[in-house]
A and B are shown apart, each in its own frame.
Chain A
């Protein structure tokens, strides 16, 4: 307790890149520098990089190399992240790999996710479509967060970006509603505290996330996306057909997803002194949701091959956190960061430990470039490929107490 309070920090952005049908060379793009600038008045130490595809319905679809497999399917699932290369530099002083980009999946990411699910045994288990075995995201703080007795932390998750299917093509013209019922998934938000008589304690908030309905019921193209709300990824029928209106809420910041300062204080344990918070976790029970997605997908597209694995909802929930009555009082990261990008201890994202921590002074910035491979679907009938890839730099800021 040296009078310094360490708050987690993250700089994040999402690259929305369209690779034209005739693109025969890798496409290099620079991410928005404003998103990687330290806009606070405290130095920021960044220790890890996280990378994930954002907002995809499926992790993977049918193997494109199987007989009858469609190569375009690969680009419509979160597995596209395997093809992304990255370069990172701080102008004038730090070049991790500024000259040559490195394929992100080859940089020895640390283990961060669940054990695999069992494969099908005797045809009785329907596990392959499920997103994960336990589906929990965790942010273990680099330094425990000591907050005074009367202070709190406010934490909110966004509405759930709905599954998008467009009308037309092979699918029937019926709304794709099943997975968007309000109780299909259940989220538990949790702070882990240390101290007290029996191990410690935890404060929790549980709710059913609701899908978000875009204004006018129209899917957001990359150009129309906002800082907090992400565009929808391509689906199996790429293009901007009319969006199927779905039940849900129009408020991106789901009121039920707010773990308020009041609720935090209500769960104060019966002991005195500061509270030592070591980590935050989010468990998402999406088993029912996944099965509904799979069934609805097969109903909507009966001509398409079997379903792949549903993506974890942590890649489709935005988040924001701040300290109340202590610390900086500022949001710990730009609001709207996908949960998988900022909760990087346990996450479906690829996470790399930087060989050396980067400290950004106030006003400092990072340059981040991303490279997409050439478009392999050439020739007549070639499709433009769209990528939505999120990248974050995670660490902490020391705040004077």
Chain B
């Protein structure tokens, strides 16, 4: 990966412009972020190997995707006696298989040992947010052309039985994109907030929040998702701190670009756990693949395998749900 100039400097802007404009203008290539995700349920009472959903980590498009990072974290579990500690990820091993090759080792490696990137924000924010810096993470920044916008769909993924979300106690989700104008270099910030009032109902943040109403293309450099704290009782007020794991989302560009959803996973899901977007800042284990990452051609895929490295309570039938994501960008020629 090239040395990236300091953010905010002229050198940075020139670098990003080349990154965004170069392939499009000179090679006819459109770049867009991509993320493949899956959720594995790992039994706690045995060391049995659990494979991911078939074809979840799979390139269904007609163009190659370069994967640069992997992210993983324990999914949100109900606030009950069935809650799974996020730190339980320390006991889960992971292995990737691709055309009969193993990564990183033939023996599963604990997921925390994959972590080779520090992503913690200040304590007050880190658990509630995910930030993806497209430039710093080696992806290619998307370009929001004139009159383009983003469609951003979100949902609260709480277990309905235990959910605290209802019309009187909404959950606030904010999605923000930042970037700068291709011509003017002036900064742009698009942000939209949605009050989620029921669990598992997919809603769109108003596209007017993200529309490029200006007169120049905008290079998008960062994306942030924030889940705010929730008031769950009124008298006296009781707050739950924000937890990014409670929300899933998907994004696509409307106008130019591919028009495809950026995130894809198992066939029965359409929204990606928001914690997996925390490649730059967040709460997940982030593994940066060596070198320039791996090129996935059309119809290429890989198998994810996880297992508990030692069984916990043999009497328990509890599962450890782990979200895993593979992050990169597509190159549409």
Contact = CB atoms under 8 A, between A and B. Distances in A.
A281 B310 CA distance: 20
B90 A287 contact: yes
Interface in A126-140: 126-127, 130, 132-136, 138, 140
A368 B214 CA distance: 57
Interface in A338-397: 345-346
Interface string A85-111: 000000000000000000000000001
A198 B99 contact: yes
A204 B103 contact: no
B113 A124 contact: no
Contact of A118 (B86, B116, B119): B86
Given A124-B79, A199-B103, A285-B309, A115 B109 contact: no
Contacts of A190: 104, 109, 113
Contacts of A284: 90
Contact of A125 (B83, B116, B290): B83
Contact of A194 (B113, B120, B126, B290): B290
Interface in B273-304: 282-283, 285, 289-291, 293-294
B184 interface: no
B87 A133 contact: yes
A201 interface: yes
A204 B113 contact: yes
A116 B86 contact: no
A208 to B, nearest CB: 10
A117 B86 contact: yes
Given A114-B120, A121-B79, A278-B290, A200 B103 contact: yes
Contact of B290 (A112, A193, A267, A346): A193
A116 B291 contact: no
Contact of B116 (A116, A192, A286): A192
A122 B240 CA distance: 9
A281 B115 contact: yes
A64 B88 CA distance: 30
Main secondary structure of the interface of B (DSSP, over half): loop
B309 A186 contact: yes
Question: How big is chain A's contact interface, by range?
Answer: 35 or more
A188 interface: yes
Contact of B81 (A124, A140, A285): A124
Chain B interface size band reads: 35 or more
B110 to A, nearest CB: 5
Contacts of B309: 186, 206, 285
Nearest to A193: B290
A283 B102 contact: no
Interface in A195-233: 195, 197-204, 206
B283 A197 contact: no
B291 to A, nearest CB: 6
B290 A192 contact: yes
B127 interface: yes
B290 A188 contact: no
A121 B87 CA distance: 15
Contact of B107 (A125, A135, A204, A285): A204
Interface in A53-103: none
B283 A201 contact: no
A192 B103 CA distance: 11
B289 A199 contact: yes
Nearest to A185: B90
Central interface residue in B88, B282, B290, by most chain A CB within 10 Å? B290
A201 B112 contact: no
A203 B291 contact: no
Interface in B99-135: 99, 101-105, 107, 109-113, 115-116, 118-121, 123, 126-127
Given A138-B115, A190-B109, A198-B101, A132 B87 contact: yes
A7 interface: no
Contacts of B111: 134
A283 B79 contact: no
B86 A127 contact: yes
Given A124-B81, A133-B283, A199-B294, A186 B104 contact: no
A50 to B, nearest CB: 14
A204 B114 CA distance: 11
Contacts of B240: 121
Given A190-B109, A204-B109, A134 B116 contact: no
B20 interface: no
A134 B118 contact: no
A287 B87 contact: yes
Nearest to B92: A285
B102 A201 contact: yes
A313 B142 CA distance: 43
Contacts of A122: 79-80
A36 interface: no
Q: Which of B87, B96, B283: most chain A CB closer than 10 A?
A: B87
A281 B113 contact: yes
A237 to B, nearest CB: 30
B241 interface: yes
A201 B127 contact: no
A348 to B, nearest CB: 12
Given A122-B80, A136-B112, A192-B104, 14 more contacts: A117-B86, A118-B86, A118-B127, A118-B241, A118-B243, A199-B289, A199-B294, A200-B291, A201-B105, A202-B109, A281-B116, A283-B113, A285-B91, A285-B112
20 contacts: A113-B120, A114-B120, A115-B126, A124-B81, A134-B90, A134-B285, A135-B87, A136-B115, A195-B291, A198-B96, A199-B294, A200-B289, A202-B105, A203-B105, A204-B104, A204-B105, A204-B113, A282-B113, A285-B309, A287-B88
Interface of B: 79-81, 83, 85-91, 96, 98-99, 101-105, 107, 109-113, 115-116, 118-121, 123, 126-127, 240-241, 243, 282-283, 285, 289-291, 293-294, 309-310
